[in-house]
Structure 1
Amino acid sequence: MGLNDEYSTAQPSGNTQSEVREPPLAALRDPGCWPIATLQWQPAYRVVPTRLPAINLFDRIASASDFDALYALEAITNDRLRTEVGEIDLVPPEERRFGPGYGPIMAALTHLNPAGSRFSPGTFGVFYCARDARTAIAETRYHTALFLSATHEPPMRQPMRLYTVNAQGSVLDLREQRNALAPTILHPHDYTFGQALGTAARHAGHAGIAYPSVRDPQGECLAAFRTTLLRQCHHAAYLEYNWNGSRIDVVFELTQVG
């Protein structure tokens, strides 16, 4: 049952047409109002700035016991290690993943964005990805331009990295509600409703939320709260976003020729 199935009702009126009652705003934040879907995105795509390491501690360590031993020995005095690991307590021990392909996944969930994001107020990490590379680029193109504009950067090329990742599992599904949610959860700038839903969904134990892309009208995105949805996250390509001083006008994919 979807949100509109539960809260939209036809009511009699003086007209021959039925009137549809809008869902209460509080219901938008209730994970119980949304259908559950099983994703099979093999692969999905994620774009991040290249300043983030391609391979980090979680890729290099094979097991939880190895991690615990290293962290106990070095984390107290090793600033670089603490920075690389992030807020490890945000991921429950049973959901921590190690080995090749898990570094970017764990990094996204253990490093906080103080400004928040669409489905997090900044108190927990989220692994965002898209069903298509085009959509992942559209989403990050917007946010990168916003940052470069806010910091008054001169014309430049911003290096980015494209990842592929397998996303499989059950998630809350908002994908059929694009028009209804445009003023609230899918608002282009105000993340208030999305953050409330994301917080409630994560607290209720949901692994993630599938939703329509706000920056690509044909695109679909995933906000993953738990590692259980994700595996095999690997580098796929280097990109450059061309910032002309006011917008990103071109995206290049770099190819090594020698």
Structure 2
Amino acid sequence: MEDTETNGFRLVNSKFPPIALFDDVADAEDFEALYQLQAMTNPRLRSEVGDLNLIPREEIPFGIAGCAYATAPFTHVNPDGGRFNDGQYGVLYMADSFATAIAEVAYHQTRYWQGVHGLQYDRFVFRGLVCRFGTEGVKDACSLPMTDPIYDRTSYAASRECGRSLRKLGVTGIQFLSVRRAEAGAICWGLFTPKQVYRIHQSCHYEFVWTGEAIGSISKVSRP
């Protein structure tokens, strides 16, 4: 029988803490009650939880370990988007190893900080996450060659159109080749819904050092 579960690895900036509210309840009804109660005393709650209108309650995997990690990309949507999303909706991106996740994050961090003038040195700590998720309904694009437009190294036009189309068809996600670690044959996933996630737990931390021109070093700085 084909294995319909696998592990994915993800890095998130440690400046963004987990949203405890998602992990404190077992179902949508409990969430609504606790959310309304806490909203009366916590003025920062709405910014912490994000835009709940961006995700149907039935897609939130309440009761799993790390529910907040699974849900955050869908309520705190990156306005710049990613390879398969244009900033209008969230995608949970993961890689087949921490090495692949590091390569992907290092590329995007480099592009971002090269546009920030005057920053001569800084360090950024990322939290390593291990995710167990189901692959049912996930479209496999790994058979496509790296010359396919969805793998363009700088333009996301074709891949974003692909993501929009798959999402409208009800596809739960996409498995694709890692552009930033192509030489290793590495793969990544982009889930269009967090309901595929069974659990996420924190593993280690990684420190990225910015030299003013590039990421100078990357090192593991802690263990569980």
User: Superposition pairs for residues 67-216 of structure 1, below 5 Å?
Assistant: 67-75=31-39, 78-99=42-63, 100-152=65-117, 153-170=119-136, 171-181=138-148, 184-216=149-181
Sequence identity (%): 34
1:140 partner amino acid? V
Aligned length: 217
| Counterpart Cα distance in 2 of 1:76 and 1:95 | 25
CA change 1:154–1:39 in 2 (3 A) is farther
Q: Which residue identity lines up with residue 57 of structure 1 in the other structure?
A: L
User: How do residues 44-55 of structure 1 correspond to structure 2 at under 5 angstroms?
Assistant: 44-55=8-19
1:203-242 matched pairs, under 5 angstroms:
203-217=168-182, 218-242=185-209
Q: Secondary structure at the match of 2:114?
A: helix
Residues 177-234 of structure 1: CA distance to partner in whole angstroms, max 9, x if unpaired? 13341xx111111111111111111111111000000100121000001123212111
1:252 to 208, 219, 224: 219
Whose RCO is larger (CA < 8 A, sep 6+)?
2
Structure 2 CA distance, aligned partners of 1:66 and 1:49? 29
Distance between the aligned counterparts of 2:143 and 2:73, measured in 1?
Answer: 27
SS where residue 197 of structure 1 aligns? helix
1:214 to 1:85, Cα distance in 2 relative to 1, 3 A: same
Contact 1:57 1:84 in 2 (8 A): no
Inter-partner Cα distance in structure 2 for 1:79 and 1:97:
25
TM-score normalised by structure 2 residue count: 0.89
Secondary structure, counterpart of 1:175 in structure 2: coil
Return the alpha-carbon distance in structure 2 between the equivalents of residues 38 and 92 of structure 1: 28
Q: TM-score, structure 1 length as denominator?
A: 0.78
Gap runs ≥5 in structure 1: 1-36
Whole-angstrom CA distance in 2 between matches of 1:249 and 1:121: 29
Kindly provide the CA deviation profile for residues 34-80 of structure 1, in whole angstroms up to 9, marking residues without a partner as x: xxx97532x21000111111353212223211111123344478442
Kept in 2, the 8 Å contact 1:46–1:129? The answer is yes
